[in-house]
Structure 1
Amino acid sequence: MTQFEDLGLAPGLTERLAEAGLKAPTPIQEKAIPLALEGRDVLGLAQTGTGKTLAFGLPLMHRLLEQQSKPLPRSVKALVLAPTRELVNQIADNLKIYAEGSRLKVRTVVGGQSINRQINMLERGCDILVATPGRLIDLMDRRAVDLSTARNLVLDEADQMLDMGFIHALRRIAPHLGTPRQTMLFSATMPKQMEELSRAYLDNPERVQVTPPGKAADKITQSVHFLQKAEKQSRLREILDRDPGALTLVFGRTKHGSEKLMKGLVADGYNAASIHGNKSQGQRDRAIKAFRDGSINILVATDVAARGIDIPGVAHVINYELPEVPDNYVHRIGRTARAGREGEAHTFCAPEEADLLRQIQKLMKIDIPVAAGEPHPGVAPGSPRVAPPKPGGKSGSGRGRGRGASSKPRGASGGGRGAPGAKPGGAKRRRPRRSAGGGAQA
């Protein structure tokens, strides 16, 4: 088996990998790192949760460590672009772990934070800048950052950049980068526009693919529930009650709908928070932190969070509403079964969502097993059926239970504050609440 030390990385990097308990690279890392160390442009395709960040981050840091010069004021040596604030923070947090103890400076710039503070930070220059395209352009317009020294460019989750219209921003940013440069593009799916993107920005790239585009991780158990729209709330609570305390990510389609769903859960005594585009960066950061440390165990999100949450303990993903873009389904369910764990993905499909489900199954080239109901018109009826859970039993074996999550039975007394707007006399699904680090305010 290949080990990290076999790949030719700088000794300091392999030491920090060993300290983190990482010895063997994942398939995408094993294939991409040697090519990147050679200076080749790389087009990497791999499902979520397979270690793409280190696949580009380790060779990037290795090459920068070989350089002896410090970054000049306002200059950047390597630029990593990602579509969302959450993903930028996740990438930077991972890189900082392995840059610790070295002279490498990893910095982030995202919207929703003080631009003046970011200008002051960039005044000192940095080795690796991880950024969202919009805020980076704002800083470029203010002449706060010089990209002419950046000889390394990484586009992470490039397919979502295409979905979110960031291709126009990329066209503004790219001409300001230094040449010659190495460019690496990583994604979990491969829409047609991706070929055009790679031709425009990559020079004779090596294509590295470890799983077919659109395929979910093997350890994700998928199921679909055919029901009416009005039945979704009660079905959601049934699933949550099978595995109380497990970290569960619930996806809605709109900001307003997700916020309303979260408030309904909180009113029923569940430890829930929400994350979507109407939340400030501070609120989003606090909600993710509370979810990560188990202070809350249910996070309701729009697709803004689908690629920005790297929390190994997520046991369940529930598609309360189906995404308009089929690729986003792959990214949503990829938030579970991370780092070798198992996970479950439940999908609710109302009659008006039948075509969306059909498109998802066409993309993934599978029929998702049916957990409940009869397939709606327009959906292939031949899907296998999932055995129903035993009465009172959990859908899993308690895996992914949030740290610090309550193990008391529903209705137990003590410690919890009453949820605002809760039904008098104790709702049927009421459970004790802890202070959730923000709860509905997170």
Structure 2
Amino acid sequence: MSFKRFAFQPFIYQALEDKNFSEPTEVQEKLIPVIKKGKSVVGQSQTGSGKTHTFLLPLMDKIDPSKDEVQIVITAPSRELATQIYQAAKQIAQFSTPEIRVTNFVGGTDKQRQLDRLKNQQPHVVIGTPGRILDMMNEQALAVHTALAFVVDEADMTLDMGFLAEVDQIAGRLPDKLQMLVFSATIPEKLRPFLKKYMDNPLIEEIRPKAVISETIDNWLISTKGKNTNALIHDLLTVGHPYLAIVFANTKTRVDEITDYLRGQGLKVAKIHGDITPRERKRVMRQVQNLEYQYVVATDLAARGIDIEGVSHVINAEVPEDLDFFIHRVGRTGRNQLSGTAITLYEPSDEQAINEIEALGVTFKPKEIKQGEIVDTYDRNRRKKREKSRDELDPTLIGLVKKKKKKIKPGYKKKIQWEIDKSNKAKRKVERRQQTRTARKNKKSSNS
């Protein structure tokens, strides 16, 4: 299957060739034809499924560059996500003649400069965070009443971060006859009233991943019991020789602790969490993309909001409290069919969470660091599995079985085996006798 069947304009194919995209992903194959026809869509798909180009390619194919008006509006819940979509749209737009104008409206940028530019001309494609886009509209600077399509990306994250009210206000000022595309990893119940309000009989398409995480990812599980976790993370980063590694922690405080420790060990480490200023975050992200950093320590904001190419290793410094974030974290590596390694550190209290992750279909390989090498170790459930598979024995024989494991005379081993066989034979005899009695009783009651 190739992109040729979608009959895009030539500039779209130039952009695809520039990105070395030859075959559409499953979500692209299913939804691009529907979006091209102008139908509204609710697309439920996991991160890394190719959904950004699923909406960008058919929508940008429809743009009329000769019109000085907004034709597409796209919202994303974080600056990083909005910037990623903006960069993808700019890459496509650069091959168009005449020019397709794409603008990114996010917080932490020069608002006055954006207002001044809008006085001269409107962008064809508006991308940004809901708050800043609404701000531009309220200033009477951004005219969205001409839009043909409205995209709400990462709708569940938009809801979680409290931005759905702003998205609602933007949608309320767009034309009635509008193609609306909503993409989300999940469809929470609280999102449904919004969808019902603005979408008339949309196509709802759930793209179920073939596997909960990419099959190219190795999942390792390492116990932190009795270990210094910070030192263990340092060893994993230096022993494993990652090309680019992201270490995830649950809180900003923990991110600060890990970063300070690693820097104290002489590693050059980038730090990303909610308390980092937008300007600083943007600068750090640019440096990471340019491979000026080999190690990044981040909160879950980065798991959903940042797409860093070339991540070879992900380390979960702690099991995430929301297990959905495990999938988002691990999904930062193993992208585009490249191999990746995801390492999860756990302590005994995480046992239930690990079991729940395994229930999702994730298979862990138990590992440990020994003499400066990462090696295979024992399965943490080995004792339970052994007990489950072992034949039940009478309490009186368990002592004999234990003795059997010791180095003892061959004659004594035979004696123990004879005792076990004798016991089993007696059990079977009792069972047969009981079955005979039951059969007699049944026969007697049926005759009477």
Higher relative contact order (CA 8 A, sep 6+): 1
One-letter amino acid of the counterpart of residue 9, structure 1: F
Percent identity between matched residues is 33
- After TM superposition, give the deviation of residue 217 of structure 1 in Å: 2.2
Give the counterpart of 2:67 among 42, 66, 69: 69
- Amino acid paired to 1:57: L
Which piece of structure 1 moves more, 125-134 or 115-124? 115-124
- Cα-Cα RMSD: 2.5
- CA separation of 1:130 and 1:392: change in aligned 2, threshold 3 A: same
Equivalent positions of 1:2-401 (< 5 A) are 2-65=1-64, 68-71=66-69, 76-102=70-96, 103-123=99-119, 124-212=121-209, 215-228=212-225, 231-354=228-351, 356-357=353-354, 360-361=357-358, 365-366=360-361, 368-369=363-364, 371=366, 392=372
Scaled by the length of structure 2, the TM-score of the pair is 0.76
CA, structure 1 residues 171+358, in 2 after alignment: closer, same or farther (shift >3 Å)? farther
Q: How many Å apart are 1:96 and its aligned residue?
A: 0.6
How far residue 221 of structure 1 moved from its aligned partner, in angstroms, is: 2.1
Deviations along 1:239-278, whole A, 9 cap, x unmatched? 1122225200111222232123212211111121101111
Give the 3 Å change call, closer, same or farther, for CA 242–198 of structure 1 in structure 2: farther
**Partner letter of residue 263 of structure 2?**
V
Change (3 A) 1:370 1:394: closer
Deviations 1:120-152 (A, max 9, x none): 233321111111112223333333322222221
Return closer, same or farther for 1:261/1:202 CA change in 2, 3 Å cut-off.
same
Specify the code of the residue in structure 2 equivalent to 1:112. Answer: G
Answer whether contact 1:292 1:311 (CA < 8 A) is retained: yes
- How many Å separate the matches in 2 of 1:201 and 1:229? 55
* Compared CA separation, residues 392 and 108, structure 1 to 2 (3 A): same
> Who is 2:438 aligned against?
none
Residues 321 and 122 from structure 1, CA distance in 2 versus in 1: closer, same or farther, beyond 3 angstroms? farther
**Structure 1: runs of 5 or more not aligned:** 373-387, 396-442
Query: What's the offset of the Cα at 1:214?
Result: 9.1
Deviations 1:345-368 (A, max 9, x none): 122233555555555555xx2354
Q: Which moved more, 1:224-233 or 1:10-19?
A: 224-233
> CA 1:228 to 1:83, structure 2 compared with 1: closer, same or farther past 3 Å?
farther
SS in 2 for 1:314: coil
Alpha carbons 1:311, 1:338 under 8 Å: kept: no
For residues 137 and 37 of structure 1, the distance between their equivalents in structure 2, rounded to whole angstroms, comes to 27
Q: Which has the larger radius of gyration?
A: 2
1:296 Cα deviation (Å)?
0.8
Q: Does the 8 Å CA contact 2:303/2:329 hold for their aligned counterparts?
A: yes
Tell me the amino acid that sits aligned with residue 336 of structure 1: T
Aligned partners of 2:211 and 2:361 also within 8 Å: no
Question: What residue in structure 1 maps to residue 431 of structure 2?
Answer: none
Distance 2:174 2:182 in 1: 16
User: How far off is 1:108 after superposition?
Assistant: 0.5
Contact kept, 8 Å, 2:212 with 2:361, in 1: the verdict is: no
Write the distance in 1 (CA, Å) between the matches of 2:104 and 2:211: 29
* 1:169-211, Cα deviation, whole Å (9 max, x unpaired): 2222210112211111122334444545433333322233332
- How far apart, CA to CA, are the structure 2 residues paired with 1:250 and 1:366? 23
Shift >6 Å, 4+ stretches: none
1:53 aligned counterpart, secondary structure:
helix
Please tell me whether the aligned partners of residues 253 and 303 of structure 1 are also in contact (alpha carbons under 8 angstroms).
yes
Whole-Å separation in 1 of the counterparts to 2:202 and 2:211: 21
1:80/1:130 contact within 8 Å kept: yes
Q: Which residue of 2 aligns with 1:408?
A: none
Distance across 1 between alignment mates of 2:212 and 2:193: 22
How many residue pairs get aligned? The number is 372
The structure with more helix, counted as a fraction of residues = 2
Runs of 5+ consecutive residues of structure 2 not aligned to the other structure:
376-448
Aligned-pair CA distance for 1:8: 1.6
Distance in 1, Cα, partners of 2:277 & 2:198 = 33
1:418-429 equivalent positions in 2, closer than 5 A: none
| Distance in 1 between residues matched to 2:105 and 2:355, nearest whole Å | 38
Could you say if the C-alpha distance between residues 366 and 191 of structure 1 is closer, same or farther in structure 2, counting changes exceeding 3 Å? farther
- 1:355-406 per-position Cα deviation (integer Å, ceiling 9, x unaligned): 55555555xx23542525xxxxxxxxxxxxxxx57855579xxxxxxxxxxx
C-alpha distance 367-77 of structure 1, shift in aligned 2 (>3 A): closer
What residue identity is the alignment partner of 1:91?
A: I
Aligned counterparts of 1:200 and 1:122: Cα–Cα separation in 2? 30
